[in-house]
Amino acid sequence: MKDKFFKYIHELQDAITSKLEVVDSKAKFKEDLWERPEGGGGRTRVIENGNIFEKGGVNISGVHGKLPKSMQAYFKVGDVDFFACGLSLVIHPKNPMVPTVHANWRYFEMYDENGNIIDSWFGGGQDLTPYYLFEEDAKHFHQTCKTACDKHNKEFYPTYKKRCDEYFYNTHRNEGRGVGGLFFDYCKASETMTMDRWFNFVTEVGNSFLEAYVPIVEKRKELDYTNEQQNWQEIRRGRYVEFNLVHDKGTLFGLKTNGRIESILMSLPPHVQWVYDHHPEEGSEEEKLIEVLKNPVDWV
């Protein structure tokens, strides 16, 4: 399974970066290969200062060795070996009418002293963070998520949509990071779902990413915007930073266990503002967004 999924994320990274380069039509992804001293490494691809994409990363990594102490405590296991691989992406478009997107698909294995798998699971998801709300975009994104989920289990979409709203939440602001999508974790073998079936589900979601996001980019990328709208985008990007640095378990785990910093923090937006006590005007488009972030919507 680990070889099969590791191969899959390589192919998916290629598919996603090629397509995004076509969409951008100016900037190319820059590739950095890196090695982890304790075992494994990754292939980081970052795009900057494009026509459409101001900054974005589409990264894969596969790491293995002794499970770090902090993770042993987190998973409540002893001194075991592990393997983990995944693809993580965050895309920050230049135009505030085009939403930021994040996605991640990952697989994890732990081994006993004889190298037998003692536990394994998939995790991942994809979610959308608009600066201006176009309801049809949120609907399209969620509908694509739902279509992928429904092929596997009708319960998956409502369950993982709800988890996404709960996970990507800035508790200190009482608002969601964006309009959500899917979030799932600890997808383990059960009576109804073998690991092969989970593989089919997770890759179905991975394969749906470009269909979920690219049509939104195409539809909004030519829209005009003002300096004020760009300021709003940069203020909202501040909330994105707050979530990733204060609440996101993946980011904090990476920072505290000596991960490759530049690959982890590629998720942070290029230009960001913090304005003291900023509030959108009553009845404005900006306020309409905040309302939706405070009260998650059933988009499909």
Q: How many CB atoms lie within 10 A of CB 215?
A: 14
**Nearest distance from C-beta of residue 265 to its own copies, angstroms:** 7
180 interacts with its own copies by CB under 8 A: no
What is the C-alpha to C-alpha distance for residues 83 and 88, in angstroms, rounded to an integer?
Answer: 16
Nearer to its own copies by C-beta: 36 or 197? 36
245 interacts with its own copies by CB under 8 A: yes
> CA dihedral in degrees (224, 220, 93, 100; nearest 10)?
130
For its own copies, what does the binding mask look like between residues 115 and 154, x meaning CB under 8 A?
Answer: ----------------------------------------
C-beta of residue 184 within 8 angstroms of C-beta of residue 153: no
Is residue 102 part of the annotated active site? The answer reads yes
Which of residues 255, 290, 297, 300 is near its own copies by CB under 8 A? Answer: 255
Nearer to its own copies by C-beta: 21 or 242? 242
73 interacts with its own copies by CB under 8 A: no
C-beta of residue 176 within 8 angstroms of C-beta of residue 247: no
Residue 290, phi then psi, degrees to nearest 5: -60, -40
C-beta of residue 229 within 8 angstroms of C-beta of residue 5: no
41 interacts with its own copies by CB under 8 A: no
42 interacts with its own copies by CB under 8 A: no
Which of residues 77, 241, 290, 297 is near its own copies by CB under 8 A? Answer: 241
Which of residues 189, 268, 297, 300 is near its own copies by CB under 8 A? Answer: 268
Q: Which residue has the tokens 């895309």?
A: 91
DSSP code of residue 260: -
**Nearest distance from C-beta of residue 277 to its own copies, angstroms:** 4
230 interacts with its own copies by CB under 8 A: no
Q: Calculate Rg over the CA atoms of the chain.
A: 19
Q: Which residue has the tokens 């990007």?
A: 237
Catalytic residue from among 64, 92, 102, 140 = 102
Hey, which residues between 92 and 111 contact its own copies (CB under 8 A)? none
CA atoms within 13 A on the CB side of 286: 15
46 interacts with its own copies by CB under 8 A: yes
Q: Is 114 exposed, middle or buried (0-12, 13-18, 19+ CB in 10 A)?
A: exposed
Q: Catalytic residues, which ones?
A: 102
By the criterion CB under 8 A, which residues form the site for its own copies? Answer: 30, 32, 46, 48, 55, 57, 171-173, 234, 238, 241-242, 245-246, 252, 255-256, 261-262, 265-266, 268-277
